[in-house]
Amino acid sequence: MSKEKLTNVVYYPYRVISVLLLVILFFPGLNVARISGLINRSTSLLTTGFSYGNLISNFGRAFKKGWVMESTMHLLNVSSLLICIGIIACAVGACLSLGNGKCRFTGNLLSTVGSIVAAFSMWGIWSAYFQVAATTKPSKVEPMFQNFFYIMLAMLVVMVVVSVAECFLVGVPAKDEKFEMETKFRLFLMFLPFILLAFVFCYLPLWGWRYAFFDYKSGDTLSMDSFVGFKWFAQLVRNKSTTRDIINVMKNTLAMSGLGIATSWMPMAFAIFLSEIKNSKFRRFVQTFTTIPNFISWVLVFAIAFCIFSTDGFISSLMINLGVWSEGKNFLMSGSHTWIKMLLWGLWKGLGWSAIIYIAGISGIDQQLYEAATVDGAGRFQKMWHVTVPGLMPTFYVLLLMAVAGILSNGMDQYLVFENSSNTNQIMVLDLYVYKMGIVKGAIPLSTVVGMLKSVISVTLLYVANTISKMIRGETIV
Amino acid sequence: MSISETARMEAKAEREYEKKHKSQMRLKPSDIVFNIINYTVFAAFTIVCIFPFYYLFINTISDNELVRKGLINFVPRGIHFENYIRLLQVNDLFGSFGITFARTVLGTLLMVLASAFVGYLVTQQDMWGRSFWYRFLVITMYFNAGIIPWYLNMAMLGLTNTFWAYIIPGIVAPYNIILVKTYIESAIPGELQESASLDGASHLKIFWTIILPLSKPILATIAIFGAVGHWNSFQDSLILMQSAPKLYTLQHRLYIYLNTTSNLSALMSAGSTSGISKSVLDSALNGKVIKYTIAMVTIIPILLVYPFMQRYFEKGIMIGAVKG
C-alpha cells in the first residue's frame, strides 16, 4: 500500500472518532464527569468544564459539612475543561485533514497534543472520583462511576495512536508550502457549524422520541428496567379517561382548523374588494391598519380582548353608561361559542396580513385581460369572478393545501392565553393538550406519544398534499 | 421575481388604475351603491382593528378614577402620564424589558448574519455535498419532534433556565436562508462574484464586500421579521425558564400579570408575591389600569417601528410567495 493511500485510510477513524468525541461533549447522558448524584443530571461534559457555577450548584451543603472537598470539584472542573479543549483541538485537526500537506501537518500536531492532554485529564476525573468516593456521607453525595469512562478513555487512546501515526505518515511539509485547501472543502467547513446547529436543535430532539417507550418521570435516568414497549400507545385506546380526553381534543382541533379552512377564501375576497377601491390613499390606510394586529403576540391580543370584553372593559362600561345593562358581563369567562370566538380572533389578527399575498397577486394579473373583458361587456362582478379569481387560484390552492397539511397544528399560544376554567373543554387543542400534559402535569411519555403521532400524521398529510398538488397542477408546494 | 420588478409592476398597475379612473368619470347608480358598501365595510373593519389600541391607550392616560368607573369610552379625560411612571415600581417588569430587548437585538443580529452567510454558501455550486446539506437544512421546516422532545433536548443540552436558550436555537432559520438564497440568485449578478474571485478575493471577502451590502433589502426584511418574532416570543420563556423568573420575557410577564391580577382584592391579599409592589396598589390605582399600561408598553415598540418597516413586511411575504 502506498504511503498516501495509507494516510487516507488512517484518516477515516481519525475523523469519525473526532466527530464522535465532539458530539459526546454535548450529551449529559454520556458525561463521564458525573461522579456524584449531586451533579445535575442534565449537565454535559461541556457544561462541567466551562461552568463551575453550574457544576457545584447543589454542593453548597456538601462543602459546608465537609462531605466533599472544594478542591475535588476544582480538579473535576479543570480536568473536564482540558478534556473539552483537547477534543476541540482534535476536531479542528479533523477539519484540517481535508487540506493540503501543511494543513494536515498542523492538524496532526493539534490533535496529537489535544488527544494526549485529554487522555491525561481523564486521570483527573478518575482521581476526583476516588476523592468523592471516600466521603463520609455516601448516602447524600451518591458517588457514582460512569462505565462510559472506559469507552471514552479507549477512544482517546485510539485518537492518540492515530494522530501520532498520521504525524509520521504526513511528515513535515516543505518550508515554503502555504495553507491550502480545495474550494469545495473550504466551503463545506464554513457551512459545517450551521449543519451542527441544525442537527443539535432540529434532528437531535427526535432522539427524545425514545421516551415514548419508557416509564419515565422528569428527572429519572432511562434504563432498560423501565422499558415498557408500547404501553403508552395502548393507553390511548385502553384507558377510558385518556381516550375521552383525546376524542374531545381531536374534536376541538379539527373543528377549529376546519373553521379556519372554511374561511380561507376570506383573505382573497378582502384583497379583491380592496382593489376595487379607487382612492389609493384610503386603500393604503386600510392595508396599513388591518395588518398591525398580525404583529402583536397572542398575549397582547388577549390583553386587547381583556380591555374590550372583560367585566369592566369597553363593551360592559359602554352598555352600563347607556343604561342597557345594569352590570358588566365578562365574555371571556364563558364557554359558549368558543370555536367561533377563536375563529374571529384569528381573523382579526390575520385577515389583513393574509390578504397581502393576494393583493400582490392581483397587481400581477395582466391588465389586458380586464380590458378584453370590458370590451366583451363584463360587469364588475363578472370581471372579479372570471378574471381576478382564476388569476389568484394557484396561490389559493397552495395555501389551502398547506392549511390542510397543518390541520393538527393550531399552535398553542392563542388557546393557552384564552383558556380558563369555563371554556377549557372547548378550547383544548392538540398542541395545548400536549403542553398541559407533558410540561404542566409531567406525564412525559404519554405526551411524547401524542406529539409523536401528531408529527407523523402531519408529515404524512404534507406528503399527500404535495402529491395531490403535483398531480393536479404539475407543481410541488414544498 | 425580484423586489424591484415587483415594485415596478405595482407602480404600473397603480398608473393604469389612475388612467381608468379618469376615463370613467360618470358612475352608474349601481357603482355608487357598491362603492358606498365597499368603503363602509372596509372602514368598519379598519376601525375594529385599530380601535382597541386607541381604547387601551386613552385608558392609560386618563384620570384613574374615571377609568375605574368605566367612563372613558371614546375620549380621554384628565390626561396624565403617571401610570407610565409608576410602572417603574412594578417588580420584575424592568428586568423583563431588558431581557426581551437584549434577545431581540442579539438574536436578530446573529440570525441575520447566519442567514446571509449560509444563504450565500448554498449558492456556491462547488461546495462539497451542496444539495444534500441544503436539503438537510430545509427539510427541518417540515417536521418537528414535538414540544416535549424539544424541551427535553434543551434540558439535556443544559440550556434551560439560561439566556442562551433564547438565542442559539434561532440562529439557523431555514426559511430565511431560502429567502436570502433566492434573493442572491435572482438579484445579484453572478459575474460580480466571478470577477471578484478572479481578482483573488476569498469567499469571506466576497461575502463581506459584495453579498452583504447588495442583499440589504432582503436582510432588512428578515431582520424585521426576526425582531418582531423575538419581541413577541412567549412560548420558549414559558417552557424553558420555569425556574428562572429573572429571564422571563416581556410577553410572559404580561401574561402572568393579566392572570394574577384579574381581581384587585386577590392582588391585595397576595401582596408583593403577585409581582406588583404594594406602593402601586396603595396609590389607589386599580389593577385594570396597571394591566392596560403594561400592555401598552409592550405594544408601543411595535407600533413605533411599524410605519417604517411596513414596506419590508410586504416584500417579505411576496418573496416567500415567489418561492412557494
Predicted pLDDT of residue B271: 42
Choose from A119-128, A305-314, B181-190 the range with maximum mean pLDDT. A119-128
Per-residue pLDDT tens over the stretch A413-466:
999 999 988 888 999 999 999 999 999 988 889 999 999 999 999 999 999 988
How far is the C-alpha of A246 from the C-alpha of A252, rounded, in Å? 10
DSSP for A305-369, please give it.
HHHHHSTTSHHHHHHHHTTS-SS---GGG--TTHHHHHHHHHHHHHHHHHHHHHHHHHHTS-HHH
Residue B59 has pLDDT above 50, yes or no: yes
Cβ distance of A188 and B21 shorter than 8 Å? no
CB B296 within 8 A of CB B55: no
Residues of chain B with C-beta less than 8 angstroms from the C-beta of A357: 317-318, 321
| pLDDT value of residue A417 | 92
- Report the distance separating Cα A138 and Cα A58, nearest Å: 15
* Residues in B touching A353 (Cβ below 8 Å): 317
Which one, of A248, A195, A244, A176, lies nearest residue A426 by Cα? A248
pLDDT score, position B269: 38
How far apart CA A446 and CA A442 sit, in angstroms, is: 9
Per-residue model confidence as pLDDT tens digits over A89-99: 999 999 999 88
How close is the nearest chain B Cα to the Cα of A182, in Å?
A: 10
Q: What is the pLDDT of residues A214-272, one digit of tens each?
A: 888 766 666 677 788 888 888 888 888 889 999 999 999 999 999 999 999 999 999 99
pLDDT in tens, B87-99: 877 778 888 999 9
Burial class (CB in 10 A: 0-12, 13-18, 19+), A176: exposed
- Cβ-contact B278, B271 below 8 angstroms: yes
Q: What ipTM does the predicted assembly reach?
A: 0.86
- Give yes or no for residue A191 having a pLDDT over 70: yes
pLDDT at B79 over 70: yes
**Cα distance between residue A95 and residue B127, in whole Å:** 15
Tell me which of A385-389, B50-54, B238-242, B303-307 is least confident: B303-307
Q: Which domains are seen in chain B, by residue range?
A: 3-80 (no CATH), 83-324 (1.10.3720.10)
Average pLDDT value for chain B? 82
Q: Which member of A185, A289, A367 has the closest CB to residue B49?
A: A289
Which band of pLDDT confidence, cut at 50, 70 and 90, is reported for residue B272?
A: very low
- The C-alpha cell 403576540 sits at A297
Instruction: Check residue B19 and give its pLDDT.
Output: 61
Binning chain B into helix, strand and coil, the percentages to the nearest 5 are 75, 0, 25
Does A276 contact B34 at a Cβ distance shorter than 8 Å? Answer: yes
- Domains of chain A (ranges; CATH) run 3-181 (no CATH), 232-473 (1.10.3720.10)
Express each pLDDT in A11-54 by its tens digit.
999 999 998 999 888 877 788 998 888 888 778 888 889 888 88
User: For the segment A146-170, what is each residue's pLDDT rounded down to a tens digit?
Assistant: 888 999 999 999 999 999 998 888 8
Residue of A95, A190, A383, A421 for testing the chain B interface, max B β-carbons within 10 Å: A190
Q: Which residue of A has its CA nearest to B173?
A: A198
